[in-house]
Structure 1
Amino acid sequence: MKNRTTRIGMTALAILLAAGATVNAVPSFAGLAVVHAEEQNSQTSTVINEGTLWKYLDNNTDPAEGQASLTAWTEKGFDDTIWKTASGKFGAKRGALTSFDGFTPTILLQQYIDGTATDIPTYFFRTTFNISNLEQLTSITGTLFHDDAVAVYINGHPVKSVDMPTNTQSSNMFYAGVSAGAPKQADLNLSKAEIQNYLTDGDNVLSVELHNDREASSDIYFEFQNLTLNYNETDGNEPAVTPVNQKSVILTVGGDTTSQGITWYADTPDAGEVQYAPKNGDTFPDNYQTVPATASISNDAGFYSNQAVLSNLQSGSEYVYRVVNGTTVSKTYSFKTSANDGSYSFAFVGDPQIGASGNASSDANNWNETVSLITSTLRPDFLLSAGDQVNTASNESQYVGYLNDAFASLPSATTIGNHDSSSAAYNEHFNLPNESRNKGITKAGSDYWFVYENTLFIDINSNNRSAAEHKAFIEEAIAANPNVKWKTVVFHHSIYSTASHVNDGDIINRRNELPQIFDDLDIDVVLMGHDHVYTRTYMMNGSTPDTSRGVQSSVTNSTGILYLTANSASGSKYYDIKAPNAEYSAKMDQSYRRTVTDIDVTDTSYTMTTYYADDMSVLDTFTINKTDSSALKNLVNETESKKLNSNDYTEESWNTFQTALTNAKSVLENENASQSELDDAYNALKSAMDGLKAPEKKDPEQNPETPVKPGNGSGSDNDSNTKKPAFTPVSDTKPSATDTKPASDSGKKTVRTGDTANAASAGLVMLAAGSVIVVYIRKRKGI
């Protein structure tokens, strides 16, 4: 279906409704309703293109070995997790990544069997594509290029083969095809009748089997240019519509968590649009919002950069979206918004620099492995790159290697590196928020900032050497966001690293200028790249490291700044350590291994854990705590001012209180105590105070263990220094039978109220006392 978007007033909307139009309700903008009138017009959706991520096998093994059939590897449930991952054009010419016959592969395939000059016979590729509204799908079309023989499958069903043998094979590892020089073009044209029995709504698996024609073939090549889903096609009376080729879809962070930037490329100058909505089921919702994109000619010949901003996003929600150019609609993508609960995480990476090793294919493969680890294991809210996304600023093949499919769902915040700065291609690919119009400018872009939950991120373009401009921009960003908990600065050229760039003249100049600016503006953390080495500083006060307590794993309420330099996330290039004794370095590492830093942020802590990306072992971890102990201090002072006495409370409640009070004082004395420790101590002490209980008052009649001495009634023998037990008046009820039973205490009988013998004794005492009184009265009267 084609979705036409019209902005109308409420009166016009009422007229539409009265006329019987179908209207999909969506939130209104600026008093206008966004109306999507559904029409049964033809529509296309390109679901496979050059940017599609493929799983592939090029190690001379048969994935069907041990399986029930030779095509088991083409089916939905097959496990391809150990296969390599890459997007682009796959191939090799005599074992190298080089152009041949007008075709240029971007991903190098292993051409030869290990240790030989014999060509691998077969290569295997798998990817997925999504179908929505299957009942309206009328055909699938596509184009691929191959050298040599090829077979294509969808959900395990063969849909296309070229130059494949007709005889039965015992395995998938065989040579096939015709040596024809340049790669051949193959077109798919699958009708509804052909596909209706094996396609499904949701994810479908596309598999490709590629063969060399002989043991000594000079080249191998595979490129799936596009696969297009065609909906509601007519009977052919209308002219055919050429689908638009869309690629390079990437989400970027918004100005805050209620917005999201997006960029994609399309081979038409007409600007597209984005349709998005909260996810509701497995198909694209009928009710959605639409935002128009702006289109500008790009560095990638024949393509235009489309950029838009998705706004009014709700926190803690999953959204689906698709990009539209004319009648071409992309597959459905999704992303999740922040919960806005004061706790989030992001992945920090340094210098992917695709192409720096001289083998862009290898760099892209390694980068893809790092991104896969980030998305599957760390699961951050967004990715932050310290710059040098590519090695050559204008090389679009290297950008294809960098732009992983995951970035259509995982938002990115990128930084302009020295290898990015000389081309507008960077700004054409990354739609970043709050970019300055006059500060930090180079050809690639400028300074920008964004807020994510409780943190202000200020990304400065350090290729522009004006410290004054950067300072002014940082001041503007802080003034616009005065209530954040944390302030993080990001830029490319590390000023506190330990490898090859440590003593470069431009680095020394930045080191002399920037730290004092950051210190004056109360920055918390500075994240950098450029030197392809891992370095974490001590807490820095201006240019002075605080080494007074040695190397620490955490600090609390420090007044200094933490600087962290990331090593390469792709392994495309590493630099040897040149400053092993740098006084500012608390931790440095050059293990020649890919790294990624997982950064977890709360209102009171900022924790940076750096992992080796090959096995997820921890390289380093460090936490900055910001705490407020005033509530606990006040509670301890209030408690001690009451001068509570243990004699006034039960032993159990008093012991609990004493333990909580002792712990509270201990936590206050620990200057590295976290906010959670302070909060726990406060809650425990408050609960213990509220739980103090006075002892129950004891009734002598109910307590046979306490003897009552005549003339006293208290059992204390009139000792003024002995605390008297509580006394409960005796009730007027008759004593029970058990009250007449003797109770023993070291062989002595205990006096009980209501005992007959005791009553007689009491009568005698009263009689004797009466006699004394009579005698005394008589003496007073002289009788």
Structure 2
Amino acid sequence: MTIVHTTFNHHSSEVTLLTRISRWLPASTLTVGLVASSLAVIAPAQANLETDPESDVLIDETTTWRYLDDGTDPANHLPSRTDWTAPEFDDSSWDSAAGSFGALRGEIAELNGGYTPDNLLSQYKDGTTDNKEAFFFRSEFTVDTDELDAGDEVNGAILYDDAAIVYVNGEKVRGFHDDDLPFTEDGDDRNLVYGGANASAPHYREFTVPEDLLEDGENTISVQLHNGRETSSDLYFELEHLTVETNEPEGPTAILLQMGADPSERRLSWLTDSGVAESVQIASGAVDTMPENATTIDATEQADSAHDGKQYAQATLSELTPGTYSYRVGSEDGTWSDIAQFEVHPNDVEHTFTMVGDPQLGSSGNLQSDGAGWQRALDANDQLFPESQYIHSVGDQVETYEGNPDQYLSVIAAQQLRSQPLMATLGNHDFNRSSPQDLFGQHYNLPNLADYDPTQGSYWFIYNDVLHLNISTEFRSDYDAHREFLETTIAEHGDDVSWTMLTFHRPLYSGGNHSVTGTTDGIRNNLGPIINDLDIDVVLTGHDHSYTRSYLIDADGNQVDPETSEIIVDAEGNVTDQELIANYEGTDSSQRLEDGSYVRVTPEEDETLFVTANSSSGSKYYNLQDASNYREGFQPRFRDQQREQNITGVEVDQCTVTTTTVELDGTVVDKVELLRDHTAPVITAADATVALDGEFDPLAGLEISDDCATLTTDDVEVEGEINTSVLGQQTMTYRLADAAGNETEFERIVIVAEVADEDKDNTDDEPTPTPTPTSGEDDASDPNPNLNSGTDGDDNAAGANDDVTDADRSADTDRDGALANTGASIMWAVAIGLTALAIGLILFLVKRNRLTP
């Protein structure tokens, strides 16, 4: 069976919305919907289905529900707590109405997310403002089971606040946020308990009714709704639709590209309902049709997924070299996905990646709005950081602890994520409180996953001269295990890279609500000393939904005085006379710099910078804490909260890591350049010859270079003098240090020699460079072998031989292949050249005219 129309309307708005029901739409359609919604005003997510009258819509907004909202338990005096859901239960005394149900502080009003109930529920217990614990609903739908095709399913969608359980014909179909409901099985009022998500807006969820629960003809559907707590401000229930749908196989969907263990590797994950083994086909270059010689790579894993009716698959692409690749996933027996491309960049230290904080799709209660915000962030990244090579999420991809399929599909829907790798950090919302969340591990194919971590969120990878360490702050029972993992990985790989970065979700240094919690203090006390002991340059975190940059933190965990470690530079990198950023007060944000200026931070050895990201999707923000609330030693150096989406470009090169945090319109929140100079300056100069009694400039011919600093000869310290009145070899010493304290020393040999009168004018202004013998030559120890040519091998302490004349030296030069400085020699050379040219011209004409000479 096929649903013909899928147009959605909001109860209180004329705005037409795209469906949020990913089961009904292919992934590409959902992506287009998210992109389109990001360009328009975001309407509330509440929606109702309008279909062709001949379609099999079983329940919609016109369906009548009988409901009980008087604070009593319909299961009282019945053997089982769920007996009230049976078809034969007598609900004739209940009230009835069609549409949605709810209340906001005892009245009909618009809830967060734009939900307005059609019918008012009696929210409070009589004579109080205490919430009733639970509310109960029953209705019927009719199914002709003989007409159901093999691929047909009965699928529904529910909106609820704060918890809900759906039953069909007395059997539980699905529970939503009901895991912690403290039911008892004996006595009265067994169903009257508080519990649920306590979210700010109703949740949207989908479910499928198992075929074996369906009866031919009339079926009973029941729903119980729970308030989260006694003081909850609102409640809401709507069964948006129940529909018979044809479940045609979609093939591969939800394709996600990720980084591998090193720059030559990429990893993939996807979902499929094909029922056959799937693989990856990959070819070099950008192609529209997969060539016959494409390489096929089998999935490393394919198994049943937490997505209903789906399997997840994962594969690893290895031995990639710089260039463009095209790929698709699927199978010949099933279907193939569309072809997508990705780029393998040169393995250079110079590169940029993008840090994103807490997408947490679904946290606002409006998944469509959150998904549109996430899409806006990815689109802005394309414009603001076009050179970004991958996206680095610092945790909380989704809202729901147990893992919500629709939220994950919304994260992965963006087409960018098929071409630009996404690396995920395990956040507290990506973990089911005490056990791994199945969907996180199925969608994120992480490299070098650590065995010691039961949360399955600690791993590492190397990319373009950066060692990325990623640990799970949901594993807090054995910090020694974290230490061993970090120490071992750094010991094995730290010397092979220029930078070491550590990422985890819960921050040590932040400015919002989480900065003053006991959990955060525990992480500071345990994880902080481990970081201080290790050679880690930058730490990237999230969780607090506001932006924070720390002071430099030294090896003892102390804040480094900004007066000694920070300067402000202009857009060209020149030091300015601007004052350092002013201190903040109360709950204010820090002062932002203007005119392209930014902060340059220069750490000493073993000092670390911490950066905590704001929300990238805009799904949730936390206000900044009053400045007086921060724990001593953990105050932010810079903090910002304008309730605007943020993303951060991280630019890496040999000497600096620069983080530029921006709002999506390009407004700079904070830019900081971490300058860590590991390399000493280099001085080069050829050995010099100076005329007896001539002038010698010790800086002439001196060349200076430094990977991380701008230095001139004015910075050079010269030791020693050349006495040009004494013939022979003399030595000068040059010393040079950069601002980071790296020093170099260089010795230069200078030869004082007699020079013919006619050449003296040429030697007074600048010393004549003398070739330095290469390693392995017989006279490598002789500072000026040309001066000793033709001698009997005796070593002359003055470096010259009185028996060797200027004419002898000219002859030696000629024998080495140089042209003698005489008019006759020049004329001979010209004559030979003209003769050769004439012969060549004659041969050309003979060949051209086919003449016989």
TM-score (norm 1): 0.55
Deviations 1:508-550 (A, max 9, x none): 0110111211121211111101111111111101421101526
TM-aligned CA deviation for residue 413 of structure 1: 0.8
Q: What letter is aligned with 1:412?
A: L
1:765 corresponds to: none
Whole-angstrom CA distance in 1 between matches of 2:519 and 2:439: 25
Deviations 1:344-397 (A, max 9, x none): 111001111111112111111111000111133313111110111011132111
1:611 alignment partner, SS class: strand
Whether the 8 Å contact between 1:354 and 1:389 is mirrored in structure 2 is yes
2:481 corresponds to: 469
Q: 404, 411, 416: which one pairs with 1:402?
A: 411
Whole-angstrom CA distance in 2 between matches of 1:298 and 1:732: 89
1:257 corresponds to: 263
Q: What letter is aligned with 1:264?
A: W
2:639 alignment partner, SS class: strand
Q: 617, 633, 636: which one pairs with 1:570?
A: 617
2:652 corresponds to: 601
Q: What letter is aligned with 2:406?
A: S
2:521 corresponds to: 508
Whether the 8 Å contact between 1:388 and 1:420 is mirrored in structure 2 is yes
1:400 alignment partner, SS class: helix
Distance 1:286 1:280, change over 3 A: farther
Whether the 8 Å contact between 1:648 and 1:695 is mirrored in structure 2 is no
Distance 1:103 1:249, change over 3 A: farther
Distance 1:261 1:339, change over 3 A: same
1:481 alignment partner, SS class: helix
Q: What letter is aligned with 1:556?
A: T
2:782 corresponds to: none
- Asked if residue 532 in structure 1 is aligned to residue 545 in structure 2, the reply is yes
2:320 corresponds to: 313
Q: What RMSD over aligned residues (CA atoms) do the two structures have, in Å?
A: 4.7
1:458 corresponds to: 469
TM-aligned CA deviation for residue 340 of structure 1: 0.4
2:341 corresponds to: 334
Distance 1:664 1:594, change over 3 A: farther
2:622 alignment partner, SS class: coil
- Asked if residue 427 in structure 1 is aligned to residue 441 in structure 2, the reply is yes
1:585 corresponds to: 636
Whole-angstrom CA distance in 2 between matches of 1:599 and 1:489: 14
TM-aligned CA deviation for residue 93 of structure 1: 3.6
TM-aligned CA deviation for residue 56 of structure 1: 5.7
Deviations 1:14-72 (A, max 9, x none): xxxxxxxxxxxxxxxxxxxxxxxxxxxxxxxx9x82354544699xxxxxxxxxxxxxx
Q: What letter is aligned with 1:308?
A: A
Kindly report which structure 2 residues correspond to 1:132-281, keeping only aligned pairs within 5 A, or say none: 244-281=250-287
Distance 1:660 1:647, change over 3 A: farther
1:555 corresponds to: 601
Whether the 8 Å contact between 1:54 and 1:85 is mirrored in structure 2 is no
1:381 alignment partner, SS class: strand
Whole-angstrom CA distance in 1 between matches of 2:822 and 2:274: 102
Q: 20, 27, 30: which one pairs with 1:50?
A: 27
Whether the 8 Å contact between 1:437 and 1:446 is mirrored in structure 2 is no
Whether the 8 Å contact between 1:421 and 1:463 is mirrored in structure 2 is yes
Number of residues of Structure 1 aligned to a counterpart in Structure 2: 488
Whole-angstrom CA distance in 2 between matches of 1:732 and 1:480: 65
TM-aligned CA deviation for residue 590 of structure 1: 0.9
TM-aligned CA deviation for residue 669 of structure 1: 6.2
List gaps (5 residues or longer) in structure 1: 1-45, 59-79, 105-114, 118-142, 144-217, 228-241, 703-727, 734-783
TM-aligned CA deviation for residue 626 of structure 1: 2.6
Moved more, 459-468 or 648-657: 648-657
2:666 corresponds to: 616
2:714 corresponds to: 662
1:329 alignment partner, SS class: coil
2:489 alignment partner, SS class: helix
1:585 alignment partner, SS class: coil
1:195 corresponds to: none
1:291 corresponds to: 297
1:531 alignment partner, SS class: coil
Whole-angstrom CA distance in 2 between matches of 1:345 and 1:433: 20
Whether the 8 Å contact between 2:551 and 2:562 is mirrored in structure 1 is no
Distance 1:299 1:547, change over 3 A: same
Whether the 8 Å contact between 2:251 and 2:334 is mirrored in structure 1 is no
Whether the 8 Å contact between 2:31 and 2:415 is mirrored in structure 1 is no
- Asked if residue 481 in structure 1 is aligned to residue 493 in structure 2, the reply is yes
2:509 alignment partner, SS class: coil
Q: 549, 557, 562: which one pairs with 1:543?
A: 557
Whole-angstrom CA distance in 2 between matches of 1:643 and 1:630: 30
1:417 corresponds to: 427
Whether the 8 Å contact between 2:249 and 2:274 is mirrored in structure 1 is no
Whether the 8 Å contact between 2:287 and 2:326 is mirrored in structure 1 is no
The structure with the largest alpha-carbon Rg is 1
2:303 alignment partner, SS class: strand
Whether the 8 Å contact between 2:251 and 2:330 is mirrored in structure 1 is no
Whole-angstrom CA distance in 1 between matches of 2:292 and 2:45: 38
Distance 1:648 1:332, change over 3 A: same
Distance 1:335 1:647, change over 3 A: same
Whether the 8 Å contact between 1:605 and 1:626 is mirrored in structure 2 is yes
Moved more, 368-377 or 279-288: 279-288
State, as a whole percentage, how many aligned pairs show the same letter. 28
TM-score (norm 2): 0.51
Whole-angstrom CA distance in 1 between matches of 2:378 and 2:298: 30
